[in-house]
Structure 1
Amino acid sequence: MKLLDICEAIVDCPHSTAKDEGSGYPLIRTPNVGKGRLKLSGVHRVPENVYNQRNERAVPQEDDLILAREAPIGNVAIIRQGQQVCLGQRTVLIRPNKEYVDPDFLVYYLLSPELQHKLLSSANGATVSHLNMSSIRSLEVQVPDIEIQKKIGAILARIDDKIELNTAINENLEQQALALFRQFFMDFAPYGGVAPSNWTEVSLDDVCTRITDGSHYSPADEPDSPYPMYSVKDMETYGFNPSSCKHISEEDFRKMQKSDCVPLLNDILVAKDGSYLKEIFICSDEKDEAILSSIAIFRPDSNIIMPEILLYLLKQPSVRKDVGDNYVSGSALPRIVLKDFKKYRFMLPPMDEQMKIGALLHAIRMQIKANIDEIHCLSSTRDALLPKLMNGEIDVSKVKI
């Protein structure tokens, strides 16, 4: 049977783009479509009139699926309870017929290797590969008994529930850390709103042993090489996405290493080009991975500043605005001008005073890292279970849900 046979509707969104208004309904674009769940952190938002226009063909509702027609092509996520969203460009709404198919099962079925292969094989487009609506609707599917579907869907959904919970916890921890930093280091709340006399005005250049960007030369892609090479497009909130990057030969990696384009432990990596300062994170581990010039390296001097102090300074929204107003050039592709930005000045307390708050910020960062490690473990478990559940290698007939 075809996908359309087990669905009530398969509808594409309007092909026009919608401007981010900063508030209103979440606009689900293809980067917001994860593997199983929607990625709502940093999502664009639109007002009610745009929401109504874009959802004119079908209003997304709980248990509907959203499929990405372009990069990340083939990703599918389910709309959970309470998520009132708007369809963005190049997304498709799939409404399962619950008489024939369980929504949770259908998400993971479409993400299974067999179905992903079918979807990707049907993609076309010379410049940008994409899925067309006819091939989505006519996708050949074969689903088991509905009770088996519900058991498989429940097993995998519980894993994603935990991943989603960890993600929400991390977002909350991140906001706590930002607020704590702002209260002490920008508003000076514990000091009557004024920086103490023993604090010093410093520049970024004063507190870093090195401020630079990655390689301006991009070596050829070597897909089978173990050495990843990252650009700003591969950055996520707390690290790199290894599934989207290129790889380079060992020879090219060693050259980039000699050029100091391989981050060290406690280096702070900053999105420099395009969506500047959107992603900023500390290297918690030393790995054999190289970076390109769209990413900047800030190497804190540990004798002068705690890495977490510098991290949460650079993450402050007020700093991002200041950077946009004073330290960015280029209109088509805005980028931070590092030779100017390294002169950015701020107030810094002595190290013993830094330790009081820095220790809390470090503890928060370590908890975030532990949650991320668990997310990676859960994701690997889910991905390993997925094909085994779908092909019947794991028998779920006696599983109680």
Structure 2
Amino acid sequence: MKRNLGELCSLIVDSEHKTAPAAQTGKAYGYSIGTPHIRSGRLLFETAIPVDKSTYETWTVRAVPQKDDLILTREAPVGQVARVGADQRVCLRQRTVLLRPDRNRVDPQYLLYALMAPRTQELMHSMAAGSTVPHLNIKEVRALTLEGVPSLAGQQAIAEVLGTLDDKIETNIRTAETAAELAESLYIRDSRNCQNWAEYALSDTAKWLSGGTPQTSEPSYWDGDIPWISAASLKSPWLDESERKVTNLGAASGTRLVPKGSIIFVVRGMSLMSEFRVGLTQREVAFGQDCKALLPTPSIDAVTLFLALRTRTTEILGLVDAAGHGTGRLGTDLIAKLQVRLPQGKTAEIFTRTVAPLIDCASAMRRENRTLAELRDTLLPQLVTGKIRIKDAERIVEDAA
């Protein structure tokens, strides 16, 4: 059965706020959620702005987000969606829409999966493609049609099966975060307290490269198998995938390739106003002009240099200035002077052997999660159309998770 969001949701309201509230210094009452904080079905509170009770109440005057509400991004980018959990106080920023599922018509978790499904994502992007800046207006959100919506009992059964995959994905996310945090903590501890560490200007640690964008109107340059990393797509510290990919011809015609073990970070983009995006390549990739790449010198371990940058995020963000229209700019001349501490000789070998397995674990969890998410997105339309039975899907999920 076809249903649009206007039929399935009892409330659909977009945010009227254009700028982020000021962060508070005391204990957070809630969090300001914008488009950077909604990814792959999750709300990323780690980078969200904490707000006090007064600010929260001011921002939620139109609608107070509740448990099981969904938050959808309608611009920059279109189509990211996440579910509000219990005891999560969030206030919405620009370019987001609050959806309140009608529990008599749709299961909230099923609706989350349906909105994340590739077919729905393609539909949202096609609806937004006619604009100079792709976006969905509130009327288009209400009219967004989902095909093959089963009965409420069917939705709940599907949500339960696919939820097993999401539970595994969430466990992997926590494992990856713990591994990365432990590696950073070890770097901070050893770089401060151990002997045989020395300071270097970042400019002296690596070969610096600039990226570029192949001509977008040339089809032979795009849809290849080489990930193209941009300021918008650098969402993970472990770089082995991207929504946009180039061909070998495209890589030779306007961009640059860097090998596994390179460090890529954003030097221009809206994200720089609130976060420093830096990643370690897990395979050969290409990258855009809003990023810089570092190829560490032979005597310097890439993982250690990556950790040196990750642990200096606050200081690096202090070097960012506004380039207009909410875009941040990180001057290469400024970050090149950043002093980083790196181990020497045998100490460097020991430290690398300690932290490298942690980084490998975090990266492996990301790869596994991508496989699990692909399985989830493959099963959803088959379950909706009856091509696969719930019991058969349960066996497939059990084997995968």
Q: TM-score when scaled to structure 2?
A: 0.83
Where does residue 3 of structure 1 map in the other structure? Answer: 5
CA offset digits 1:237-262 (Å, max 9, x no partner): 224585543x55543422557xxx21
Where does residue 137 of structure 1 map in the other structure? Answer: 142
Correspondent of 2:349 among 355, 363, 368 = 355
Aligned to 2:249, what secondary structure does the other structure show?
A: helix
Matching of residue 52 in structure 1 with residue 57 in structure 2: yes
Where does residue 111 of structure 1 map in the other structure? Answer: 116
Where does residue 220 of structure 1 map in the other structure? Answer: 216
Where does residue 389 of structure 1 map in the other structure? Answer: 383
Where does residue 280 of structure 1 map in the other structure? Answer: 278
Where does residue 305 of structure 1 map in the other structure? Answer: 300
Matching of residues 1-400 of structure 1 within 5 Å: 2-21=4-23, 24=28, 25-116=30-121, 119-120=124-125, 122-123=127-128, 126-141=131-146, 143-185=149-191, 187-188=192-193, 191=194, 196=195, 198-208=196-206, 210-215=207-212, 218-221=214-217, 222=219, 223-240=222-239, 242=241, 244-245=243-244, 247-248=245-246, 250-255=248-253, 261-274=256-269, 275=271, 278-285=276-283, 287=284, 289-302=285-298, 304-316=299-311, 319-324=312-317, 331-332=323-324, 333-339=327-333, 341-396=335-390
CA offset digits 1:174-208 (Å, max 9, x no partner): 222222111110x31xx5xxxx4x54443334433
The CA distance in 2 between the partners of 1:92 and 1:365, in whole Å, is 35
CA offset digits 1:283-313 (Å, max 9, x no partner): 222x3x32123222222223x2222221111
Structure with greater Cα Rg: 1
The CA distance in 2 between the partners of 1:330 and 1:5, in whole Å, is 42
- Deviation larger for 344-353 or 164-173: 344-353
**Would the aligned equivalents of 1:68 and 1:76 in 2 still touch at CA under 8 Å?**
yes
Aligned to 1:220, what secondary structure does the other structure show?
A: coil
Q: Where does structure 1 lack aligned partners over 5 or more consecutive residues?
A: none
- Classify 1:174/1:22 alpha carbon distance in 2 versus 1 (closer, same or farther; 3 Å): farther
Residue type at the aligned position of 1:18: A
- Classify 1:207/1:6 alpha carbon distance in 2 versus 1 (closer, same or farther; 3 Å): closer
Residue type at the aligned position of 1:309: T
**Would the aligned equivalents of 1:211 and 1:338 in 2 still touch at CA under 8 Å?**
no
Aligned to 1:128, what secondary structure does the other structure show?
A: coil
- Classify 1:112/1:204 alpha carbon distance in 2 versus 1 (closer, same or farther; 3 Å): closer
Residue type at the aligned position of 1:361: V
CA offset digits 1:31-79 (Å, max 9, x no partner): 3333433333422333322221222222111111122222332333222
Aligned to 2:252, what secondary structure does the other structure show?
A: helix
The CA distance in 1 between the partners of 2:316 and 2:4, in whole Å, is 52
**Would the aligned equivalents of 2:35 and 2:76 in 1 still touch at CA under 8 Å?**
yes
**Would the aligned equivalents of 2:227 and 2:243 in 1 still touch at CA under 8 Å?**
no
User: Once the 2 structures are TM-superposed, how far is the Cα of residue 393 of structure 1 from its aligned partner?
Assistant: 1.3
Aligned to 1:130, what secondary structure does the other structure show?
A: coil
CA offset digits 1:102-123 (Å, max 9, x no partner): 1111222233455445545554
**Would the aligned equivalents of 1:234 and 1:242 in 2 still touch at CA under 8 Å?**
no
Q: Where does structure 2 lack aligned partners over 5 or more consecutive residues?
A: 395-401
Residue type at the aligned position of 2:354: L
**Would the aligned equivalents of 1:328 and 1:336 in 2 still touch at CA under 8 Å?**
yes
The CA distance in 1 between the partners of 2:385 and 2:359, in whole Å, is 40
**Would the aligned equivalents of 2:60 and 2:91 in 1 still touch at CA under 8 Å?**
yes
The CA distance in 2 between the partners of 1:204 and 1:279, in whole Å, is 17
RMSD, matched Cα: 3.1
- Classify 1:132/1:370 alpha carbon distance in 2 versus 1 (closer, same or farther; 3 Å): same
Where does residue 397 of structure 2 map in the other structure? Answer: none
- Classify 1:126/1:158 alpha carbon distance in 2 versus 1 (closer, same or farther; 3 Å): same
The CA distance in 1 between the partners of 2:39 and 2:129, in whole Å, is 21
User: Once the 2 structures are TM-superposed, how far is the Cα of residue 314 of structure 1 from its aligned partner?
Assistant: 0.9
- Classify 1:10/1:338 alpha carbon distance in 2 versus 1 (closer, same or farther; 3 Å): closer
> 1 or 2, which has the higher strand percentage?
2
Residue type at the aligned position of 2:142: R
**Would the aligned equivalents of 1:37 and 1:160 in 2 still touch at CA under 8 Å?**
no
The CA distance in 2 between the partners of 1:383 and 1:22, in whole Å, is 39
Aligned to 1:8, what secondary structure does the other structure show?
A: strand
User: Once the 2 structures are TM-superposed, how far is the Cα of residue 153 of structure 1 from its aligned partner?
Assistant: 0.9
User: Once the 2 structures are TM-superposed, how far is the Cα of residue 394 of structure 1 from its aligned partner?
Assistant: 1.4
**Would the aligned equivalents of 1:211 and 1:342 in 2 still touch at CA under 8 Å?**
no
Identity %: 29
**Would the aligned equivalents of 1:36 and 1:160 in 2 still touch at CA under 8 Å?**
no
User: Once the 2 structures are TM-superposed, how far is the Cα of residue 351 of structure 1 from its aligned partner?
Assistant: 1.9
User: Once the 2 structures are TM-superposed, how far is the Cα of residue 321 of structure 1 from its aligned partner?
Assistant: 4.3
- Classify 1:373/1:337 alpha carbon distance in 2 versus 1 (closer, same or farther; 3 Å): same
- Classify 1:200/1:136 alpha carbon distance in 2 versus 1 (closer, same or farther; 3 Å): closer
